């Protein structure tokens, strides 16, 4: 009696593991976790490095240190940092990437 119960339960779990729906669900959960934790962090770092690089490039091209362009770039970077623009932009990009990945996974079923 107990042996038959275990056989039924293990057979059912084996069928569920090999099911396409379960594999697709796990792939979607993995993609969702990846795109909501790892990708925004990477994108924030890339955006911040781009802002630093563009500020340094603008400082190199300005002939004097009291240039109005350099002041506006500094003000723009400060305001963007205060409203968390790099974090918001990276979340939008990661949401678009997640949507595209989930569409690809759903299309294969």
pLDDT tens, residue by residue, 42-66: 888 888 888 778 777 776 766 555 5
- The pLDDT confidence band at residue 94, using thresholds 50, 70 and 90, is confident
- What 3-state DSSP class applies to 44? helix
Residue 15 lies in a domain: no
pLDDT at 73 (0 to 100): 65
> Could you list the residue range(s) of the whole structural domain that residue 86 is in?
20-107
Report how far residue 91's alpha carbon sits from residue 38's, in angstroms, rounded to the nearest whole number: 11
State the total domains in the chain: 1
What are the b/e assignments for 31-58, b being 16+ CB within 10 Å?
beeebeeebbeebbeebbeebeeeeeee
Residue 71 lies in a domain: yes
Q: What is the pTM of this model?
A: 0.47
Tell me what the mean pLDDT of segment 62-76 comes to. Answer: 61
């Amino acid at each position: 009696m107990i042996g038959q119960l275990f056989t039924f339960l293990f057979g059912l779990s084996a069928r569920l593991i090999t099911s396409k729906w379960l594999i697709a669900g796990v792939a979607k959960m993995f993609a969702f976790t990846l795109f909501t934790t790892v990708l925004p962090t990477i994108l924030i770092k890339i955006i911040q490095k781009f802002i630093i690089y563009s500020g340094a490039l603008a400082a190199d091209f300005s002939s004097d240190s009291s240039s109005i362009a350099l002041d506006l770039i500094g003000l723009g970077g400060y305001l963007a940092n205060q409203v968390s623009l790099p974090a918001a932009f990276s979340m939008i990009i990661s949401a678009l990437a997640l949507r595209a990945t989930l569409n690809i996974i759903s299309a294969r079923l």
